[in-house]
Amino acid sequence: MIDFRFHLVSVIAVFLALAVGIALGGALLHRALPSSQAGAAEQSRPGTERLRAEKDAAVRLGAGGDALADAYADRILSDRLDGVAVAVVEAPGADRRMREGLAARIRQAGGTVAARLRLTDTYLDPGEDAFVRELADQLATGTGLPRGSAHDRAGALLGRALLRPAGEGPGGEDADGDAGFDAAAALAGFAEAGMLGLDGEPADAAGAADAVVVLAPAEPFGTGTEAGTGTEAGGGTPPSGGAEPAPARIMLDTAGALHAVADATVLVGGPSSARPGGLVHRARAAGGGYSTVDAAGGDAGDIAAALAVAHAAEGGSGAYGVAEGADAFLPAPSSDASAGADAADSADEEQREP
C-alpha cells in the first residue's frame, strides 16, 4: 500500500526535478548566447531576461519544496531508523552543511551517528599505497582481509572496526571468527598514521555501527585544490581527460570494501557529485552495488538520503536523486513503514473524533 509520506515526498521530488531542470537549462542557454556581437546581444536580451526570471522561479520553487519537506519531516521519517547506529566516513572536501543536515535527519528518524571518520589527503595519495597496504596488514590481527588493492584491504579493515558483528553487541565475536581483532587499535593506528581523523576516542567508535554513510566531496576530484588534483599531490587527472583520478579510484575501492563488510552502505553527495567526474556518477557507472544519493544538501535531499539509509538497513539498495541514472528521488516505502504511517493516520483520526 502506497502511504501518505510516499505521495508527499514524490510531489516534493517533482518540484525539485522541475526546479533543477529549469535552472540548469537556463544556465546552459545563458552561456550559449553570443557575447562578441553587440547586435546579437541586444536581440537576445529579452530571452536572457526570461531565462533569468525562470531560473529565479526555479530557485524559489526548490526552496518551497525544501520547506514543504521540512514541515512534514517528522511524519516522513518517523522511526525509520529506530535503533540503527550509523558510521559516517567523509572524503576530503565533503560539504559540512550536507554532513550536519544528514546527521540531523538520521537522528530525526530515530537513528544515531555512532562514529565519524574523516579520510585525509594522505589516505588518498597513491604514493602511499604500499604503506596503506602494510598498515592494514599489521592491524588486521584476528581478522582476514580480502585480496585486492591496498584500499580494498584498508576499507575492509575500517569496516570491520566500525561495524558491530552480526547478532552481537560491540566487542562481540562474529560468525567469521574475528575473535582477537582489536577494532579500537585498528582505528587508532590509521589515525596515528595520518590517514584519518576521528571524532572522539577510537574505543567509542569501535564496533558501534550498523550502517555506513560515505560522503562524497563537494566538487569532483580533479577540479579544485583537494587531494589528487595535481600530478604531484595525488596523480589526479581532470575528468575531461578521460582517466580516473587516483583519489576517485581510492574512494571507490574504499566504499566497495565497506559495502562488502556492511551491506547497509550508502554513498551520499550533492548534485555536483552526479556530474561527469563526480564520485556518485563514477560509482553508478562502476556498478558498486551499494546505494547512492545525489540530491543531499537541502531539506528534501537530506530526507531522501536518510530514507536511503533506512532502506539499506532493511536490505534494499538503489540510486536515488534527480540526476540521470537515478532510479527514483527516494526509496519506495517498505511494508513496515506503510503500516506505521497507516497506524499514525488512524491515531490522528481518533484524536480528532469527538
258-288 residue pLDDT tens: 999 988 999 999 999 999 999 999 999 999 8
**The pLDDT value given to residue 8:** 63
What is the pLDDT confidence band of residue 22, given thresholds at 50, 70 and 90?
low
Q: Spell out a b/e string for 239-258, using b for 16 or more CB atoms within 10 Å of the CB, else e.
A: beeeebbbbbbbbbbbbbbb
| Range 187-194 average pLDDT | 97
**The pLDDT value given to residue 6:** 59
Q: How far is CA 241 from CA 62, 94, 237, 272, in A?
A: 33, 23, 6, 18
What is the pLDDT confidence band of residue 169, given thresholds at 50, 70 and 90?
very low
Instruction: Say what percent of the chain tops pLDDT 90.
Output: 57
**Residue 304 near residue 17, CB atoms below 8 Å:** no
pLDDT for residue 316 is more than 80: yes
Q: Which residue has the higher pLDDT, 173 or 162?
A: 162
**The pLDDT value given to residue 4:** 58
Cell 546505494 belongs to 291
Q: How many CB atoms lie within 10 A of CB 221?
A: 32
Residues 125 and 133: their CA atoms lie apart, in Å, by 13
**Residue 12 near residue 65, CB atoms below 8 Å:** yes
**The pLDDT value given to residue 234:** 38
Helices (H), ranges, the chain? 4-32, 38-71, 73-77, 96-108, 129-139, 150-162, 183-192, 202-205, 246-261, 279-286, 299-313, 335-352
Q: Which residue has the higher pLDDT, 263 or 204?
A: 204
| Range 127-154 average pLDDT | 94
**The pLDDT value given to residue 56:** 67
**The pLDDT value given to residue 243:** 55
| Range 7-27 average pLDDT | 58
pLDDT for residue 291 is more than 70: yes
Q: Please provide the average confidence, as pLDDT, over all residues in the chain.
A: 80
What is the pLDDT confidence band of residue 242, given thresholds at 50, 70 and 90?
very low
Q: Which residue has the higher pLDDT, 37 or 112?
A: 112
pLDDT for residue 238 is more than 60: no
**The pLDDT value given to residue 294:** 96
Residues 152 and 168: their CA atoms lie apart, in Å, by 25
* Residue closest to 294 by CA, chosen among 69, 17, 14: 17
DSSP per residue over 99-154, as a string? HHHHHHHHHHTT-EEEEEEEE-TTTT-GGGHHHHHHHHHHHTTTS---SS-HHHHH
329 membership: H or E segment, kind and range: none
DSSP per residue over 213-259, as a string? EEEPPSS-TTSSSSTTSSTTTT----GGGSSPPHHHHHHHHHHHHHH
Q: Which residue has the higher pLDDT, 33 or 70?
A: 70
Which residue ranges make up each domain of the chain?
A: 4-71, 82-338
What is the pLDDT confidence band of residue 177, given thresholds at 50, 70 and 90?
very low
**Residue 117 near residue 277, CB atoms below 8 Å:** no
Please give the order of strands across the beta sheet that includes 211-215. Answer: 196-198, 112-119, 85-90, 211-215, 265-268, 291-293, 319-320
